[in-house]
Structure 1
Amino acid sequence: MKVIPLILMGCGGVGRQLLQHIVSCRSLHAKQGVHLRVVGVSDSKSLIIASDVKQKELDDNILAEVCRVKSDGSSLSKLTSLGESQVFSNSESRTKVLDIASILGKSTGLALVDCSASSETIGVLKEGVNLGCCVVLANKKPLTSTLEDYDKFVSYPRRIRHESTVGAGLPVISSINRIISSGDPIHRIVGSLSGTLGYVMSEVEDGKPLSQVVKSAKSLGYTEPDPRDDLSGMDVARKALILARLLGKCIDLGSIKIESLYPEEMGPNKMSVEEFLNGGVVRLDNNIEERVKKASLNGNVLRYVCVIEGARCNVGIQELPKNSALGRLRGSDNVLEIYSRCYSQQPLVIQGAGAGNDTTAAGVLADILDIQDLFP
């Protein structure tokens, strides 16, 4: 039986779903000859680890309790009397994770699995790589930090997996890597990489006011608590940056032209969420309506996409043909068109659910299993 020790960093929606997947797949993984040994779980305030990380694990009962406590919105610091485990405060967490990495990294191996949305994990992950650990990411921040940080992670290609940073569980990163490895140069990528903005743009195409669509999207749970986090385009820009760097472009976020769907005067530092939803967003309706009509007269539709071509990496609203894969997009799916020498006339199209805790966690789990050959 191949054993993969791992520490989960981040126990929000994706992290909890990953733990549930690990537990529910025990019998399947046993048939495949692999066991995921969870030796630690951390949130922003605490770290819980097995009492003996060399031999033991946080058993499934403890993992279930971790999920319950986090679902209630509490910190892992509440778990002070759970079986054979220890709880450490945030100030001790970094040192303890690196202690475990130094013990396991170059002996049994250790996977550091980052399902947080924090940039504070970057330092630990970099040191973990130096200690021989593997890194599996759903968190985009480590790959959209400085080029120095990015180069550090990708200098160990066998030991890093990050499929879920773009398109959740869709095979975006692996497909691009396979094309690049085959010597087929990719010269253009166009993608709708936000389920929220995909939904918004397909709804306004049907004649609904932007303000109504944004409110509906929020009530359906498609947006962040503050919809401007989605409407700013920053999440799409981070995904675009990951793809651009994958193609060898030495750029950072500041190099990307980003079109926000709201003006600076409606930003979070100028307007509350309530003010934006109740009075601000309605002032954006006319402009979007006019752009939709203009696109329609040209036989096109509007989509919020990233475009990576040559030295250009832009994120914003584009007019696209109605009969293209992106033009036919409805609802919250992600769609990516990849153009290369082999896919010059008809692009390689990847489409499917590109968001959601379940889908993202499944992608992370697949990435963990993909590195099993590196473990004894």
Structure 2
Amino acid sequence: MARKIQLTLLGCGGVGRQLLRHIVSTRKLHEDQGLRVAVMAVVDSKSIVLGEKNEELDDTALLEICLAKEKNNQMPETGKTFLSTILMDDHATFFLVYPTGRPLVVADCTASEKIGQALAEIADLNCCIVLANKKPLTSSFNVYDRIAALNRRYRCESTVGAALPVIATLNRLLNSGDSIKKIVGALSGTLGFVMSRLEYGESFSDIVRQAKELGYTEPDPRDDLGGMDVARKALIMARLMGWRINLEDVEVECLYPPSLAPKLMSTMQFLKEGLAELDLPMRNRVKEAAARGCVLRYVATIENFHCKVGIVEQPQQSALGQLHGSDNLVEIFTRCYSTSPLVIKGAGAGNDTTAAGVLADVLDLQDYFG
């Protein structure tokens, strides 16, 4: 008899939909392994879809959900549909309509700030949690500690490097007693693309506009240029190492001045006018770095109980200096890797890659299901 992993998906955006498609497309693979990922419920900000008679949603229903969400951003009328409040308030309301007392994995593929408290309550119900959403792990310690207390019953690989084994590697090092001295990471595919293109003499504004057209940036590129996404990833790694620090303790270099902030300038105005103000200062920084045989990279540096995120100069022939495009790269310096760091490199962004990382985390919890 196949071991059944019962899963509830929170969030049905790009990553959530791709996760459902991965689950459907890997049925034969998992069947051969004696496994079945049973999706019991899919939750978005407006509704909850459950299978009939509390059974799992079949593959047809899962694909219908994906298509309906893509077409009109609404759940289809399949199975049983309820009004959802779990993503709109701080209470795990979902469990009022889902039978408790059975093993369950809850996968958070949202970008919700408010969901942290709900996940903390879910953790108290003895569930397993898988996170692609960085915000619960970078919020208050009241939330973080309750999730982290799950120990091996929670996974969060996709919060830092999509499917790259950054968290797993750090856990292996920490559990072996190998003390981590320093972590340096290029952790934004968007900013990696922008920084590497600057080497070819293109203007900063043209590169950012191109990145937006290619779908690399958020709808407002300032969400990437502000550096907060990288800061959250750095904080997750620092907290994993036992540091009791908060997001405001992370030193962040924002790539645009306060005068170009969203409160003062619309996205359209920023793209048409504001970005051009950044061209000359960035061009000068590129020239100064090149004169020293270096290139610019936007990186997170975690060392001596201090997290710093921003542009640094890197030798052209270094691992970070040779990084191009939207790939991520993390260098980990430890007692064992003191002079030659452990390097993890590869695609660190994209719905497909991130969803693959989430599914791998879900499968990693299979021992909790008989």
TM range (shorter): over 0.9
Aligned counterpart, 1:138: 132
Aligned counterpart, 2:23: 22
Aligned counterpart, 1:67: 66
CA contact (8 A) 2:42 2:50 kept: yes
Q: Secondary structure at the match of 2:194?
A: helix
CA contact (8 A) 1:98 1:127 kept: no
Aligned counterpart, 2:272: 278
User: What is the rounded CA distance, in whole Å, between the counterparts of 2:74 and 2:321 in structure 1?
Assistant: 44
2:231 paired with 1:237: yes
Per-residue deviation, 1:52: 2.3
User: What is the rounded CA distance, in whole Å, between the counterparts of 2:289 and 2:86 in structure 1?
Assistant: 56
Per-residue deviation, 1:288: 0.7
Q: Aligned letter for 1:304?
A: Y
Residues 151/88 of structure 1: CA separation in 2 closer, same or farther (3 Å cut): same
Residues 5/170 of structure 1: CA separation in 2 closer, same or farther (3 Å cut): same
User: What is the rounded CA distance, in whole Å, between the counterparts of 2:133 and 2:125 in structure 1?
Assistant: 21
2:212 paired with 1:218: yes
Per-residue deviation, 1:156: 1.3
2:197 paired with 1:203: yes
Q: Secondary structure at the match of 1:166?
A: helix
Alignment deviations for residues 68-125 of structure 1 (CA, whole Å, 9 cap, x no partner) = 011113222xx23x2xx21111248866522366x34x43x00001000002222221
Q: Aligned letter for 1:168?
A: A
User: What is the rounded CA distance, in whole Å, between the counterparts of 1:243 and 1:158 in structure 2?
Assistant: 16
User: What is the rounded CA distance, in whole Å, between the counterparts of 1:308 and 1:120 in structure 2?
Assistant: 27
Residues 95/138 of structure 1: CA separation in 2 closer, same or farther (3 Å cut): closer
**If the length of structure 2 is used for normalisation, what is the TM-score?**
0.96
User: Which residues in structure 2 correspond to 1:150-189 (within 5 Å)?
Assistant: 150-189=144-183
CA contact (8 A) 1:189 1:339 kept: yes
Aligned counterpart, 1:4: 5
Per-residue deviation, 1:148: 2.0
CA contact (8 A) 2:50 2:80 kept: yes
CA contact (8 A) 2:162 2:348 kept: yes
Per-residue deviation, 1:147: 1.6
CA contact (8 A) 2:182 2:301 kept: yes
Aligned counterpart, 2:323: 329
Q: Aligned letter for 2:320?
A: L
Identity %: 53
Q: Aligned letter for 2:64?
A: E
User: What is the rounded CA distance, in whole Å, between the counterparts of 1:15 and 1:64 in structure 2?
Assistant: 12
Aligned counterpart, 1:97: 94
CA contact (8 A) 1:204 1:210 kept: yes
Stretches of structure 1 that go unaligned for 5 or more consecutive residues are none
User: What is the rounded CA distance, in whole Å, between the counterparts of 1:91 and 1:28 in structure 2?
Assistant: 35
Per-residue deviation, 1:375: 0.9
User: Which residues in structure 2 correspond to 1:337-376 (within 5 Å)?
Assistant: 337-376=331-370
Aligned counterpart, 1:246: 240
CA contact (8 A) 1:147 1:251 kept: no
Residues 323/18 of structure 1: CA separation in 2 closer, same or farther (3 Å cut): same
CA contact (8 A) 2:12 2:109 kept: yes
User: What is the rounded CA distance, in whole Å, between the counterparts of 1:324 and 1:52 in structure 2?
Assistant: 58
Q: Secondary structure at the match of 2:301?
A: strand
Aligned counterpart, 2:259: 265
Aligned counterpart, 2:283: 289
User: What is the rounded CA distance, in whole Å, between the counterparts of 1:246 and 1:197 in structure 2?
Assistant: 24
Residues 115/91 of structure 1: CA separation in 2 closer, same or farther (3 Å cut): closer
Q: Aligned letter for 1:42?
A: V
User: What is the rounded CA distance, in whole Å, between the counterparts of 1:119 and 1:325 in structure 2?
Assistant: 34
Aligned counterpart, 2:57: 58
Q: Aligned letter for 1:192?
A: A
Give the number of equivalent residue pairs. Answer: 366
Q: Secondary structure at the match of 2:312?
A: strand
CA contact (8 A) 2:48 2:81 kept: yes
CA contact (8 A) 1:111 1:136 kept: yes
Stretches of structure 2 that go unaligned for 5 or more consecutive residues are none
Per-residue deviation, 1:322: 1.4
Alignment deviations for residues 282-310 of structure 1 (CA, whole Å, 9 cap, x no partner) = 11111111111111111111100000000
